[in-house]
Structure 1
Amino acid sequence: MASAKLPENRWAWVEVDLGAVRRNTRAFKALLRPRAQLMCAVKADAYGHGAVECARAMLSAGASQLAVATVDEGVELRRAGLGCPILMLNESPLESVGTLLEYQVMPSVYTTDFAFAYAEKAVGMGLVGKYHLAVDTGMTRIGVLPEDVVEFRRMIDFHRGIECAGTFTHFATADVIGDWDFRQQGSRFSEAVAALQGAGLETGLVHCDNTPGTVLHPEFHFDMCRAGIGLYGLQPSETCAPRISLEPAMSVRGRVTRVVTPAVGEGVGYGLTYRVVKPNTQIATVPMGYADGLARSLSNHMDVLVNGARARQVGRICMDQFMFAQDLSGLRGYRSVSPVQHGDVVTVMGRDGDEFIGADEIARLRGTINYEVTCNFGIRLDKVYV
C-alpha cells in the first residue's frame, strides 16, 4: 500500500512505484553495449504512469533521451526542467513547428512539406532544427520508403535550417522469434542506413529496436534502443518474459464508500445484471468506474482484492463507481477472513498480501493489451508516487 499521502478529494487513485521504474530502466540499460544509448518512451503520460515523474526516474537510472507522441507532451517535459534530447515519434501540424523549435523537441521527418516548413521557421528564429529521419521498412505507418531515403535526404539537406540527428524505423513483429517479416524489416533498414552513409549523408543516431527488439534482438541495438512498456514493468510479449525480469510499477486502488447486506434476490447496478443468491452477502461500493479506465466490458467478469483475498465484482460498472460482493455465508467461493467495512482499501490492480492482479489479467478479460490498460487508468485518477 502507499506510504505517501493519499488524495483527499476522492477515494480512488493510481500508485506508481518510481523505484520499480528505476530498476526496470537499469535492467534495459544493462542489455546494451557500453556506448549504446537508451531512449525512454514517456508518451501518453508515460503509459498512464505520469510523464514528468517517470522521466526523471528513468534519466536518473541511466537513460539519456526521451520519446513522446505529441508536441504538448514534449513541451510538458521541457517546462518541468528536463534538458535531455526529446524526440517526437511523428510529424506534427505545420503550424506547430515554431513550438517544436522554441522548446527544442525534435520531430520525426518523412515529408518534404514538413521538412521545409520546419527548416524555414528555424532560419527565421536563428536556429537549426534537429530531426530524426523515419524510415518505413514495412509497418506502413510513417516514414520514407527505404529505396527513397537518399533522394529524400538530398531534397531537404540543402537547407541550412535543419540537421539530421537520427535515423530510425519501427518493427511490427519484433516479439515473434524467427519471424520472416521482422528479418525483412531489419534488412531493409540496414540497407537504407548503408545507402545513406554510402552517399555521404549524416545518419545521426541509428535506432530501431523497441521494447521486445531490445530484449530479443541485440544485433539491431545500433547506437540507441527505444524502450517503452517494459520500463513500467510490463512484458511486451510472452517471448520476452524469460529474458528479462521486470517489476510492475502501477497499482490501482480505491476505498469502500458503502456496504450493505441485501436480501436474497435483490439486484445490483444498472439493468440489475447481478442478483444476490446467498444470504449474508455484502455488496460494497468503490468510487471508480469506466471514466477512470475500468472498462465497462469487465462488468461481472473481474475480481478485486480486499483484505488480502479476491472478491467478485458484480453488476454493471458505472461511469464513476462499481460494486463487488463479499460472501460471508461460510460456503466456498470468494470470501475473506473478515467482513468488508467502510473505508477498506480495495485493489483493482496490484498486490494485496499474497494475491496479485496484474495488467495482463485485466487485459485478457478485456480482449486487449496491457498498454491500453495502464493508459486508461492514467487518464483521470490521481497519481500517488511511492
Structure 2
Amino acid sequence: MAVRNQPETRWAWVEVDRGALRKNVRAFRRLLRGRERLCCVVKADAYGHGASECCQIMQQAGADMFAVATVAEGVQLRETGIKLPVLVLSEPPIEAIPTLLAYNVMPSVYTVEFALAYGECAVQAGTVGRYHLAIETGMNRIGVPCTEALEFRRSIDFHRGLECDGVFTHFATADDPDGWDYQLQRKRFDEAVAALRDAGLEVGTVHCDNTPATIFDPASHYDMVRVGIGLYGLMPCESARGRIELAPVMSVRARVTRTAHPAMGEGVGYGFTYRVPRTTVQICTLPIGYADGLARTLSNRMEVLYRGQRVRQVGNICMDQCMVAIQQTTVRPMPEAEVGDVMTIVGRDGDDEITMDEMAALRGTINYEVACGFGMRLDKVYV
C-alpha cells in the first residue's frame, strides 16, 4: 500500500488522520444546542494521538476548553501555544500549585486543605485561583460528597484568592442512560448544584457529560460536555453505534525488516510457541512489540493486513518486534513480502480493516487502552 509519510528512524509508526479528527469534533458540536460548549479531553497524550497536534486541530474545529489528567499535561499544552482554558480532571498535589498558577491551568478541587493553599498562593502571586469543584455522586472515585458540597463551599468561599469557575461530576454508567444508577447520579448532581445556587454561590460552568452521556442524553448537556474517546473515532459502547457517525483517527503500520523461509518444524520467537508447518511459509519480521502497545497476550491470536488480506501473527510477541506468517495455499495464493513492504496492525488496507475494537476484544479490554498503548512510544505521523 502507498504511504504518504513515515518516520526516518524506525519502520513502525502511528498515523493520525487530521481530517477524521476534524470531522469527529464537528460531529459532537452538532449535538450541542444554543450556548452549550465543548470540552475536549486530551489526557494521556490525547489518548495516544498526540495532544499538542490534536489540540491545534480541535481548537480550529470548535473546541472551547481542554481537559487533562495531570499538571504536566496542562503545562505541555501551554508551552505549545494553547490559549483556551485547561482543566486538570483531578486535584493535584499541593506542591503543584505554583505551576498551576504560573501556567494558568485550573485544578479540580475537593479538599479544604488544597483549596486554601491554592488561594493563599494565588494571593501571593497577585492573582485569583480559578478551579472546578468536583462533586462525588456515586462513582466513588474523586470529589466532595454531593450532600456536603454546600458545606464545603462555605468553608472555603471566604478566601479572596479563590474563584469557582465550574462544578462537575462524572458518570459511571452513562452507556445506560435509562438505568437507575445513571438517573440517581444525575439527580444527586442536580440537587447539589441547586443547593449551591439557592445559597447564592457562584457555580460557573456546570458540566457532567462524558462521551456516551453526550450522545444519549441531551438534557444533561447543561453548560458544557466533556468528550473524550469519541473525538478519536472510537465508540464508547456498542449501543452508541448508529447514534453518531465517527471516523477512526488512528492507524498503526509497520514495514517488514526481514523475511525468511525456515524449514518445516523450526520454531519462531521466544519459547517456540509456533512451529513452521508442512506447507510453505514465509516468516516476516515487523519492528513493533509489546513496548509499543502490541500486547503480548495477542501472541498467535491476532492478524495484520498485507495487500488488503489478513495474515497471521506467529510466535510470542517480543518487546520491540513480532513475526507474521505468509502461508501459501491453493485456496488463497498471496505474493510473498519483501523487506520494506507495509503491513497494517490497526486500520484499513484495501477492502479490509482491523479495528481497535477487534483488538480490544482479543485482549479482553476496551478500545481506550489499545489506543493509549500504541501512542506511548511509536512515532506519530499526521496525514
- Distance in 2 (CA, whole Å) between partners of 1:2 and 1:106 is 44
Counterpart residue identity of residue 173, structure 1: T
* Residue 355 (structure 1) aligns with: 352
1:155-177 CA distance string (max 9 Å, x none)? 11110111000000000000014
* Residue 211 (structure 2) aligns with: 211
- Distance in 1 (CA, whole Å) between partners of 2:186 and 2:4 is 45
Matched, 1:113 2:110: no
Deviation at 1:134, TM superposition (A): 0.3
* Residue 276 (structure 1) aligns with: 276
When residues 48 and 2 of structure 1 are mapped into structure 2, their CA distance, relative to the original with a 3 A threshold, is farther
* Residue 172 (structure 2) aligns with: 172
Counterpart residue identity of residue 314, structure 1: V
> Identity across aligned pairs (percent)?
62
Matched ranges for 1:1-386 at <5 A: 4-330=4-330, 332=331, 337-386=334-383
Residues 170 and 209, structure 1, Cα contact 8 Å, conserved in 2: yes
When residues 162 and 34 of structure 1 are mapped into structure 2, their CA distance, relative to the original with a 3 A threshold, is same
- Distance in 2 (CA, whole Å) between partners of 1:339 and 1:240 is 40
2:107 alignment partner, SS class: strand
1:105 alignment partner, SS class: coil
Residues 215 and 244, structure 1, Cα contact 8 Å, conserved in 2: yes
Counterpart residue identity of residue 260, structure 1: A
Residues 13 and 254, structure 2, Cα contact 8 Å, conserved in 1: yes
What runs of 5+ residues in structure 2 fail to find an aligned partner?
none
Deviation at 1:3, TM superposition (A): 5.5
Residues 259 and 339, structure 2, Cα contact 8 Å, conserved in 1: yes
Deviation at 1:111, TM superposition (A): 0.2
- Distance in 2 (CA, whole Å) between partners of 1:4 and 1:105 is 37
Counterpart residue identity of residue 358, structure 1: T
Deviation at 1:59, TM superposition (A): 1.0
1:111-142 CA distance string (max 9 Å, x none)? 00110111111011001010000000000000
Residues 87 and 107, structure 1, Cα contact 8 Å, conserved in 2: yes
1:58-83 CA distance string (max 9 Å, x none)? 11111110000000000000000110
Deviation at 1:2, TM superposition (A): 7.2
1:22 alignment partner, SS class: helix
When residues 51 and 336 of structure 1 are mapped into structure 2, their CA distance, relative to the original with a 3 A threshold, is farther
Residues 40 and 63, structure 1, Cα contact 8 Å, conserved in 2: yes
Quote the RMSD (CA, aligned, Å): 1.0
Counterpart residue identity of residue 371, structure 1: Y
When residues 105 and 198 of structure 1 are mapped into structure 2, their CA distance, relative to the original with a 3 A threshold, is same
Residues 326 and 336, structure 1, Cα contact 8 Å, conserved in 2: no
Deviation at 1:278, TM superposition (A): 3.0
- Distance in 2 (CA, whole Å) between partners of 1:4 and 1:283 is 26
2:238 alignment partner, SS class: coil
Counterpart residue identity of residue 317, structure 1: I
- Distance in 1 (CA, whole Å) between partners of 2:310 and 2:333 is 7
Deviation at 1:4, TM superposition (A): 4.4
Deviation at 1:336, TM superposition (A): 5.8
Residues 97 and 121, structure 1, Cα contact 8 Å, conserved in 2: yes
Counterpart residue identity of residue 15, structure 1: E
Residues 4 and 385, structure 1, Cα contact 8 Å, conserved in 2: no
Counterpart residue identity of residue 364, structure 2: G
- Distance in 1 (CA, whole Å) between partners of 2:278 and 2:326 is 10
